[in-house]
């Protein structure tokens, strides 16, 4: 989350919605890119929590998974789930899409021995 706040400070003209699509470098329908290919699950949670209206709700839902392990137990792929914890539908859709891309790419890297467990950037 500190990285995202630093990015906002560096580019004050970029609002949170634009940051979601451009600043993170994550794959979205808008930019078609995928830059952060080695994020841990914790980094994904931090990114998601940046856009969550109530961090405590999110952390309560995910506290058992804060060790950087796979977060498949939580339905990241369902935008409606994000709405129930106060995240705007469009943001939830982007989170859902990015989670699937992150998960699939992490699975590919792990299967090919290219992913270090709990890597820190």
Per-residue pLDDT of the chain (121 residues; tens, 9 = 90+): 454 455 445 545 444 444 443 334 443 333 333 333 344 445 555 555 555 544 444 444 444 333 444 444 456 667 776 666 556 666 667 666 666 665 565 566 667 766 554 433 3
Tell me if 102 is assigned to some domain.
yes
What pLDDT score was predicted for residue 80?
74
For residues 20 and 52, is the Cβ–Cβ distance under 8 A?
Answer: no
Q: How open is the CA angle 102-89-96, to the nearest 5 degrees?
A: 15
Q: Which domain holds residue 102?
A: 2-108
Tell me if 23 is assigned to some domain.
yes
What pLDDT score was predicted for residue 112?
72
Tell me if 97 is assigned to some domain.
yes
Tell me if 113 is assigned to some domain.
no
Helix 41-50 with 2-10: angle, nearest 10 deg: 50
What pLDDT score was predicted for residue 108?
66
The structural domain count of the chain equals 1
Distance (Å, whole) CA 8 – CA 14 = 7
Tally of CA atoms within 13 A in the half-sphere of 50 that contains its CB: 23
């Amino acid at each position: 989350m500190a990285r995202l706040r630093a990015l906002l400070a560096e580019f004050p003209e970029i609002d949170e919605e634009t940051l979601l699509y451009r600043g993170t470098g994550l794959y979205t329908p808008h930019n078609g890119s995928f830059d952060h290919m080695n994020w841990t699950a914790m980094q994904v949670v931090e990114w998601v929590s940046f856009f969550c209206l109530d961090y405590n709700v999110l952390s309560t839902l995910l506290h058992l998974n804060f060790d950087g392990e796979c977060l498949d137990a939580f339905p990241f792929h369902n935008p409606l789930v994000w709405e129930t914890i106060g995240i705007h539908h469009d943001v939830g859709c982007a989170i859902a899409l990015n989670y699937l891309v992150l998960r699939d790419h992490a699975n590919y890297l792990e299967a090919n021995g290219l992913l270090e467990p709990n890597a820190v950037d």
